[in-house]
């Protein structure tokens, strides 16, 4: 069940250029959330900016009753969000949307994240590890600072292979290039992917060529977040006659359902 | 005032032109889906009414994205009436609302007088509908929609055509995109409208300066949210003295103070639209806030303050 909750902020800090981590107490939400779902976050109590911002769950720890969001400041809403003080309240709605499908038995899993697309993969990685899967992650970003989340994966025992555009950490280039050259690709059972659409398109192509089951997570501007306003509409395939709603039908889709053509 | 506070019996129920509402707060069409979408957040059967997503005779897939964009204290939408059609509404979505004892107002939009009449006739045969809101003011569809709502003669004709097919209360939703809202309201009343719903969205647009093109794929969209509240209030204030049918007022209502402004401008009941996106519980909170105000002010029935701000 989704809920409207005001969580007490436990920590709120900048972790990389433009990137913030917001940790708050929300026991029921932490218990009910699953990886790949998102929250609709009120950025200020005023009416301008008006709408909530959809932010994916970076982590939801049921035992601690704590939820963590990782977000990037992209405009006025997220900029206002950075001002929320520790011990203050954050107004959230959720958990929302259809998250990642977890395997029924342990599998060999590869996570592929680009930029802020790394955020929803941490919670997923933790749940996969809990289920006994063997998990590795390929993470790409502009530079080493923006790969801050890498340590969090390592702490979970998930080996993190970095790629940066400027070469300041790991291989220089794009994460999809690292995936294409990945030596153990033929032993991989599933790939979960989140990041810029051009990157997800490249990853989906590699997964398809190697016959690997895969899921990816899409993003759209949203108003309601619950499937009521029909604002976050999108065609999954170029010739489709009906639109899916990212908030309710997604944000996670199977790679085979989606043909990414809105490249960014 | 203290004694009034204790003695007063509050009656929140509203008769909106034959639509019996438990309290004066409805949720606006297109902002609340078919009700079920919000069941985790509030008791939808406790709402004054749920005005369901706009329905057309045949299914519509809606406009291509981007369909929405945030603006200063508001948002633009160009959904394009995506809906499964009136039959699917009645068969797949209505039963849940009936089972939950929700006061349901259907919202219908047509391309022609015949479309409106056919939907009215079809809904007449469905049990569990308290009234019909006529969408004659959707700015986001190429045919029909707005064109029915901007010409007084057409407004009268469409209301008359619908009334001929149904005994349910009929409430056209007026477009603010007109020069003379009073003429439109009078025409609706002459056509036999039981109530008026005011207002729909204001037509607007936003431009992406990096791409040098409109943000919305539909180019234009309907502006809603707190940004339009002064316009809605002004129009209701103008229409209230000119008609003898009740008004369901809405346009940027976010809290009970906003709602009370609408009531004092002449609305017998109010609708919350975009506010639902910001706070999915706000409709319930607004009803509670109105009740608190009535207790504090010693007002037994909301009727005492409908139009109270009108300067005669």
CB nearest to A2's CB, from B40, B254, B278: B40
Q: What pLDDT digit, counting tens, does each position of A166-200 carry?
A: 999 999 999 999 999 999 899 999 999 999 999 99
Please answer whether residues A200 and A193 qualify as being in contact, where contact means their C-beta atoms are separated by less than 8 angstroms: yes
Q: What pLDDT digit, counting tens, does each position of A99-158 carry?
A: 999 999 999 999 999 999 999 999 999 999 999 999 999 999 999 999 999 999 999 999
CB-CB under 8 Å, A231 with B33 = no
Domain spanning B2-60+82-202+226-304: which superfamily? Aldolase class I (3.20.20.70)
Nearest-by-CA chain B residue for A4:
B41
DSSP letter for A179, please.
H
pLDDT value at position B118? 96
Q: How far apart are CA B234 and CA A251, in angstroms?
A: 41
Work out the pLDDT band at B141, boundaries 50, 70, 90.
Answer: low
pLDDT value at position B137? 75
Residue A168: partners with Cβ closer than 8 Å, 6 or more residues away: A143, A144, A145
> Distance from A60 to chain B by nearest Cα, in Å?
20
Q: Which positions 34-53 of A are in contact with B (Cβ < 8 Å)?
A: 42, 47-52
- 3-state SS assignment for residue A4: strand
CATH numbers and ranges of domains, chain A: 3-96 (2.40.30.10), 108-216 (3.40.50.80)
Residue A19: partners with Cβ closer than 8 Å, 6 or more residues away: A70, A71, A72, A73, A116, A146, A148
Q: What pLDDT digit, counting tens, does each position of A241-255 carry?
A: 899 999 999 999 999
CB-CB under 8 Å, B79 with A231 = yes
Show residues of chain A in contact with B69, CB under 8 Å: 221
Q: How far apart are CA B267 and CA B248, in angstroms?
A: 6
Q: Which residues of B2-12 are buried (b: 16+ CB within 10 A; e: fewer)?
A: eeeeeeeebeb
pLDDT value at position B2? 47
Which token pair is B219?
A: 């180019």
Sign of CA dihedral B130, B131, B137, B142: positive
Q: Above 50 in pLDDT, residue A4?
A: yes
> Distance from B119 to chain A by nearest Cα, in Å?
22
B209: left (phi over 0), alpha (psi -120 to 50) or beta: alpha
Nearest-by-CA chain B residue for A45:
B278
CA dist A114 → A34, B34, B55, B227 (Å): 21, 37, 41, 37
Which string of DSSP letters, residue by residue, matches B177-188? -SS-HHHHHHHH
Q: How far apart are CA B201 and CA B199, in angstroms?
A: 7
Which token pair is A146?
A: 């923006």
CB-CB under 8 Å, B77 with A229 = yes
CB-CB under 8 Å, B31 with A50 = no
> Distance from A170 to chain B by nearest Cα, in Å?
33
Q: Residue B249: which of B292, B179, B305 has the closest Cα?
A: B305
CB-CB under 8 Å, A224 with B79 = no
How many degrees, rounded to 5, is the angle at CA B129 between CA B127 and CA B133?
145
Q: Is B41 on the interface with A (CB under 8 A)?
A: yes
Q: How far apart are CA B146 and CA B221, in angstroms?
A: 12
CA dist B6 → B9, B293, B301, B302, B305 (Å): 9, 13, 15, 17, 20
Residue B203: partners with Cβ closer than 8 Å, 6 or more residues away: B139, B146, B177, B220, B221, B222, B223
Q: How far apart are CA B246 and CA B255, in angstroms?
A: 21
Q: How far apart are CA A140 and CA A174, in angstroms?
A: 6
* Other CB atoms within 10 A of residue A25 CB: 18
pLDDT value at position B312? 81
Domain ranges of chain B: 2-60+82-202+226-304
- 3-state SS assignment for residue A116: helix
Show residues of chain A in contact with B40, CB under 8 Å: 1-3
CA B46 from centre of chain: 17
Q: Above 80 in pLDDT, residue B143?
A: no
- Tell me the pLDDT of chain B averaged across its residues: 94
Q: How far apart are CA A69 and CA A10, in angstroms?
A: 12
DSSP letter for A242, please.
S
Work out the pLDDT band at B208, boundaries 50, 70, 90.
Answer: very high
CB-CB under 8 Å, A223 with B75 = yes
> Distance from B61 to chain A by nearest Cα, in Å?
6
Mean pLDDT of B83-101: 96
- 3-state SS assignment for residue A138: strand
- Residue carrying the six token digits 């009753």: A65
Q: What pLDDT digit, counting tens, does each position of A45-67 carry?
A: 999 999 999 999 999 999 999 99
| % residues pLDDT > 90 (chain A) | 95
CB-CB under 8 Å, B61 with A242 = yes
Q: What pLDDT digit, counting tens, does each position of A194-229 carry?
A: 999 999 999 999 999 999 999 999 999 999 999 999
CB nearest to A221's CB, from B62, B66, B254: B66
Show residues of chain A in contact with B63, CB under 8 Å: 233
- Catalytically active residues of B are 138
Instruction: Give the DSSP H/E element, type plus range, for residue B98.
Output: helix B94-99
- 3-state SS assignment for residue B115: helix
Instruction: Give the DSSP H/E element, type plus range, for residue A79.
Output: helix A76-81
CB-CB under 8 Å, A223 with B68 = yes
> Distance from A243 to chain B by nearest Cα, in Å?
7
Please answer whether residues B206 and B273 qualify as being in contact, where contact means their C-beta atoms are separated by less than 8 angstroms: no
Which token pair is B28?
A: 């606006």
pLDDT value at position A214? 97
Q: Residue A86: which of A151, A11, A188 has the closest Cα?
A: A11
Which token pair is A211?
A: 């016959």
């Amino acid at each position: 069940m989704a809920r409207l909750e005001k969580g007490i902020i436990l920590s709120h800090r900048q972790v990389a250029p433009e990137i913030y981590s917001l940790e708050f107490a929300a026991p029921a939400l932490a218990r009910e959330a699953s990886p790949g779902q998102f929250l609709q976050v009120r950025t200020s109590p005023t009416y301008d900016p008006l709408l909530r911002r959809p932010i994916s769950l970076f982590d939801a720890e049921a035992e601690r009753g704590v939820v963590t969001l990782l977000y990037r400041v992209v405009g006025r809403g997220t900029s206002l969000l950075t001002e929320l003080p520790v011990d203050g309240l954050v107004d959230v709605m959720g958990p929302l949307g259809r998250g990642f499908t977890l395997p029924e038995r342990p599998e060999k899993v590869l996570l592929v994240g680009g930029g802020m697309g790394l955020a929803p993969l941490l919670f997923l990685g933790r749940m996969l590890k809990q289920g006994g899967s063997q998990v590795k992650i390929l993470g790409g970003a502009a530079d080493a600072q923006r790969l801050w989340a890498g340590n969090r994966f390592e702490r979970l025992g998930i080996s993190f292979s970095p790629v940066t555009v400027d070469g300041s950490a790991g291989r220089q280039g794009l994460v999809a290039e690292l995936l294409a050259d990945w030596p153990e690709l033929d032993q991989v059972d599933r790939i979960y992917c989140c990041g810029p659409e051009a990157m997800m398109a490249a990853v989906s192509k590699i997964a398809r060529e190697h016959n690997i089951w895969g899921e990816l997570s899409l993003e759209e501007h949203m108003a309601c977040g619950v499937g009521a306003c029909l604002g976050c509409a999108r065609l999954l395939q170029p010739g489709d006659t009906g639109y899916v709603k990212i908030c309710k039908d997604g944000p996670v889709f199977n790679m085979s359902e989606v043909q990414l053509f809105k490249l960014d | 005032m203290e004694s009034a506070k204790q003695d007063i019996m509050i009656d929140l129920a509203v008769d909106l032109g034959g639509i019996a509402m438990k309290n004066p707060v409805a949720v606006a069409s297109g902002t609340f889906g078919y009700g079920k979408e919000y069941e985790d957040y509030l008791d939808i059967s406790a709402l004054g009414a749920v005005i369901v997503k706009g329905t057309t005779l045949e299914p519509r897939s809606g406009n291509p994205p981007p369909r929405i964009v945030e603006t200063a204290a508001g948002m633009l939408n160009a959904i394009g009436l995506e809906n499964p059609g009136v039959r699917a509404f009645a068969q797949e979505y209505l039963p849940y609302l009936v089972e939950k004892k929700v006061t349901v107002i259907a919202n219908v939009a047509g391309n022609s007088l015949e479309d409106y009449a056919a939907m009215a006739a079809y809904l007449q045969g469905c049990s569990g509908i308290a009234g019909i809101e006529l969408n004659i003011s959707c700015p986001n569809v190429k045919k029909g929609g707005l064109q029915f709502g901007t010409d007084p003669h057409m407004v009268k004709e469409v209301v008359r055509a619908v009334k001929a097919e149904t005994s349910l209360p009929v409430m056209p939703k007026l477009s603010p995109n007109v020069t003379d809202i009073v003429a439109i309201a009078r025409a609706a009343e002459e056509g036999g409208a039981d109530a008026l719903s005011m207002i729909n969205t204001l037509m607007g647009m936003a431009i992406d300066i990096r791409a040098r093109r409109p943000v919305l794929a539909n180019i234009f969209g309907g502006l809603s949210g707190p940004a339009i509240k002064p316009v809605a209030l002004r129009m209701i204030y103008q229409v209230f003295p000119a008609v003898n049918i009740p008004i369901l007022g809405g346009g940027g209502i976010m809290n009970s103070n906003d709602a009370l402004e609408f009531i004092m401008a002449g609305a017998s009941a109010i609708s919350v639209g975009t506010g639902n996106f910001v706070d999915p519980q706000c409709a319930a909170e607004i009803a509670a806030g109105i009740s608190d105000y009535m207790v504090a002010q010693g007002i037994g029935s909301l009727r005492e303050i409908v139009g109270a701000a009108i300067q005669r």
